[in-house]
A and B are shown apart, each in its own frame.
Chain A
Amino acid sequence: MSFLDSFLIRAALAGLGVALAAGPLGCFVVWRRMAYFGDATAHAAILGVALSLAFEVPILGGVLLCCLAMAAAVTALTGRGHSSDTILGVAAHSALAFGLVAVSMIPGARVDLSAYLFGDILAVGRGDLAVIWGGGALVLALLWWRWSALLTTTLNADLARASGMDPEREQRYLTFALALVVAVAIKVVGVLLIAALLLIPAAAARPFARTPERMALLAAAVGGLASLGGLRLSFLADTPAGPTIVATAAAIFALAASLSGFRRKVAR
């Protein structure tokens, strides 16, 4: 018997691992207005799943590759006569559609599609847990290492260049971190709801932060609270875990927004 034998403990740790990495990374998604970009990357993951199954390679690798390819394609296409809004919309939905078609064409074993679309947190095994915490730790380490450069680049690209930085390179670090979070979060919330786990905690943290660092920490805390609380609620109410986690995060966001609105009114 060990601590990790309980599937509930494993699920809780998996949710926590994803949330702790997604919170701070999500702040950059919010600050840089990359919400659609996150969507496109996440939807490309289902194509990655299909390709991995077809070629019998590890899902993590296939998903990472597809996410990065999607990011590169979107970056290359932006600014060629279409608004980035349009490009991202086209890319996100086509990736999802092609992914779904590709999954249906895989011969042999039937694929449980909903596990990839909405996550299957209660089925997380020890190996999955290692991948989630390994990937999450890598994302946090990357953010820690590049923090100042990423922030400066987010403020203004030329400001970063004048300080001897390369904004394109920093953008690539962010893209890689995003692909990594998507890849490890599939098991927890699925490709359709990953973007929510990036955006909602960061948005909920915004009114209570005066510095970027504070916002990143708060976002991680909100994400952790949402995943533990959501898991508990889904257990009590017998609802699907992934969507319940996101719904809990949304409830925290609503509470935070009304609280800050109330505070502003009092201050006035």
Chain B
Amino acid sequence: MSLVEITGLDVRLDGRPVLDSVDFSISRGEIVTLVGPNGSGKTTLMRAVIGAVTPAAGQIRRKPGLRLGYVPQKLHIDPTLPLTVGRFLSLPVRFSRFETRAALEQAGAEALTDRQMSELSGGQFQRVLLARALLSKPELLILDEATQGLDQPGSAAFYRQIETIRDETGCAVLMVSHELHVVMAASDRVVCLNGHVCCHGTPEHVSSAPEYRALFGTGTGGALALYRHDHDHSHEHGPDCAHDSHETAAE
């Protein structure tokens, strides 16, 4: 059974259409990555999964009582707010010191419990955010550009950690990223978004799909192509686009 199932989702922000009849679903234990250019609605789709946007049309169905772990893109903590890592992890639900230490270890951020959040480096901060998301024993872990500000080896290590966590806990993972080649290697399924679903399927399928190439160019140079792709690409996003491979990926 799907953890989240979205059908025909239309979202408008300030009257501007952001998502247009998007179908999306994610099942237990799956790692799904959203790719797409800036402004393509990735974060909006993610916020729809959390329940933070009101759809103009369409349906968002969540498994009743679904436990979500959310790692936001940025978390600005006002300097006037004193907050230790340990206290942050126990928000909003109190956890024992033993539990928080275990979560920090799982996220690869041991020995940070008594540090102030404001003293952490970018990488440490992201790992603490991950630890907090893990504490609720999530069935679905959501990561929005979680490796922003990490260097290449750092983000590769971060994604390996995510895969390990999936293997250990069996949670599903939904993530957004710009680092296409790194993320795609760690994903079971990729959804390419540009206001609508351009194409989806296994990483191999998507990276060779003409719709994807129209957006990102070819090969590992795709990450660069991101910044000079053509928004006015046209193709049909009908039922013939990659739905077959979706089914093979779900098996």
Q: Do A and B come from one complex?
A: yes
Residues of A within 8 A of B (CB): 30-33, 148-149, 151-152, 154-163, 165, 202-203, 206, 209-212, 214-215
From B81, B84, B136, B142, A154 is in contact (CB under 8 Å) with B81
Contact A206 B68 (CB under 8 A): no
Report the Cα distance A33→B76, complex, angstroms.
Answer: 13
Closest A residue, CB atoms, query B14:
A79
Q: Are B87 and A211 in contact (CB under 8 A)?
A: yes
Residues of A within 8 A of B77 (CB): 155
B interface, size bucket: 20 to 34
Cα-based distance from A211 to B84 in the complex (angstroms): 6
Known A155-B75, A156-B75, A165-B92; judge A211-B83 contact (CB<8 A).
yes
- Chain A residue at smallest Cβ distance from B114: A210
Residues B50 and A212 in contact, CB atoms below 8 Å apart: no
Q: Are the CB atoms of A151 and B92 closer together than 8 Å? A: yes
For the complex, would chain A's binding face be called helix, strand, loop or mixed by DSSP majority?
helix
Q: In the complex, A158 Cα to B47 Cα: how many Å?
A: 8
Contacts of A155 in B (CB 8 A): 75, 77, 81, 88, 91
Q: How far is the CB of B118 from chain A (nearest CB, A)?
A: 11
| A148 touches which of B52, B78, B81, B92 (Cβ 8 Å) | B92
Chain A minimum-CB-distance residue to B80: A30
What CA separation (Å) do A32 and B76 show in the bound complex? 11
In the complex the two chains form, is A31's CB within 8 Å of B80's CB? yes
Distance (Å) between the CB of B71 and the closest chain A CB?
A: 9
**Residues in B neighbouring A214, C-beta threshold 8 A:** 82
User: Which residues of A lie under 8 Å from residue B88 when comparing CB positions?
Assistant: 155
Closest chain-A Cβ to B57's Cβ sits at a distance in Å of 21
Residue of B70, B76, B80, B116 near A162 (CB, 8 A) is B70
Task: Say whether, besides A155-B77, A210-B116, A161 and B84 are in contact (CB < 8 Å).
Answer: no
A212 near B81 with CB under 8 A, answer yes
Q: Which residue of A lies closest to B73 (CB)?
A: A158
Residues on the B chain within 8 Å of A162, using CB: 50, 52, 68-70, 142
Q: Name which residue of chain B comes closest to A149, CB basis.
A: B92
| Cα–Cα distance between A152 and B136 once the two chains are bound (Å) | 14
Other-chain contact of A158, B70, B82, B92 (Cβ < 8 Å): B70
B70 touches A159 (CB 8 A): yes
Top 7 A-B pairs ranked by shortest CB distance?
Answer: A162-B70, A148-B92, A152-B92, A161-B52, A209-B82, A31-B81, A162-B68
Distance (Å) between the CB of A155 and the closest chain B CB? 7
- Is the pair A161, B91 in contact by a Cβ cutoff of 8 Å? no
Residue contact A211 to B92, C-beta cutoff 8 Å: no
Residues of B within 8 A of A149 (CB): 92
Whether the pair B92, A163 counts as a contact (CB closer than 8 A) is: yes
Min distance, Cβ B74 to any Cβ of chain A, angstroms: 9
Q: How far is the CB of B148 from chain A (nearest CB, A)?
A: 15
A2 to chain B, nearest CB (A): 42
Query: B33-67 interface mask toward A, CB cutoff 8 Å, 1 = contact, 0 = none?
Result: 00000000000000100111000000000000000
CB pair A161–B50 under 8 Å, yes or no, is yes
Judged by a CB distance under 8 angstroms, whether B72 is at the interface is: yes
Shortest Cβ distance from residue B139 to the other chain A in the assembled complex, whole angstroms: 13
Q: Which residues of A contact B94 (CB under 8 A)?
A: 148
17 extra interface residue pairs, beta carbon distance < 8 Å, beyond A158-B50, A162-B52, A163-B70: A30-B80, A31-B78, A148-B94, A151-B91, A156-B76, A158-B70, A158-B72, A161-B47, A162-B50, A162-B142, A210-B82, A210-B84, A210-B116, A211-B84, A212-B81, A212-B87, A214-B82
A162 to B93, CA, bound (A): 13
A215–B94 CA distance with the chains assembled, in angstroms: 19
The answer for the CA separation of A30 and B88 in the assembled complex, in Å, is: 18
**How far is B180's CA from A201's CA once the two chains are assembled, in angstroms?**
49
Question: Once the chains bind, are B75 and A215 in contact (CB under 8 Å)?
Answer: no
20 contacts between A and B (CB under 8 A): A31-B80, A31-B81, A148-B91, A148-B92, A151-B91, A151-B92, A154-B81, A155-B91, A156-B72, A158-B47, A159-B72, A160-B92, A162-B69, A162-B70, A163-B93, A202-B80, A203-B80, A211-B83, A212-B87, A214-B82
Greatest chain B CB density within 10 A among A159, A212, A214 is at A159
Contacts of A33 in B (CB 8 A): 78
The docked-state distance in angstroms from the alpha carbon of A206 to that of B93 is 24
Contacts A158-B47, A206-B82, A210-B116; is A152 near B72 (CB within 8 Å)?
no
- The residue on B at minimum CB distance from A203 is B80
Q: Report the minimum CB–CB distance from B73 to chain A (whole Å).
A: 9
Looking across the interface, which residue of chain B has its beta carbon closest to that of A154? Answer: B81
Residue numbers in B under 8 Å from A152 (CB-CB)? 91-92
**Which residue of chain B lies nearest to A33 when distances are taken between CB atoms in the complex?**
B78
Tell me how far the C-beta of A196 lies from the nearest C-beta in chain B, rounded to whole angstroms: 16
Residues of A within 8 A of B87 (CB): 211-212
